[in-house]
Amino acid sequence: MDLNWRHFIIAETSDGIFIGCAQLKHHKDGSIELASLAVEDAFRSQGVARALIEQLLSQSPHPLYLMCRQELGIFYERFGFKVIGAESMPPYFRRMLKVLKIFVFLTRHEGPLIMRLDG
């Protein structure tokens, strides 16, 4: 939703082959989200995601938010992100949480974690 290629950073091999990407997504409520993190299967567990995150963290003001699957929370905690409740979320994430609750109910999947990194 609302993707803007200018907000992305790309990881590639020395031969110029795409291996991963991530972005800082700016929301209308002023919040900024670490989003769209993806790494090609063949390059996972090699530090690509870490390098992308560290690069974006060096460019980002705080607080910085992210939304992830439950099982990925422990990965993002390594960078200082902490799970937050709805009362601590900016409006964008509260709206997303409401929409996702419907999906969670219908599919019986676990809902996402909303996490924040403070300065």
C-alpha angle with apex 5: 18 to 74, nearest 5 degrees?
70
What tens-digit pLDDT sequence spans the chain (119 residues)?
567 788 899 999 999 999 999 999 999 999 999 999 999 999 999 999 999 999 999 999 999 999 999 999 999 999 999 999 999 999 999 999 888 877 666 666 777 899 999 98
Say which CATH number the domain at 91 has: 3.40.630.30
DSSP one-letter code for 27: P
Please tell me the total count of domains within the chain.
Answer: 1
CA 44 to chain centre: 16
Compute and round to an integer the Cα radius of gyration of the chain: 15
Indicate the length of the chain as a whole number: 119
* Domain boundaries, position 108: 5-117
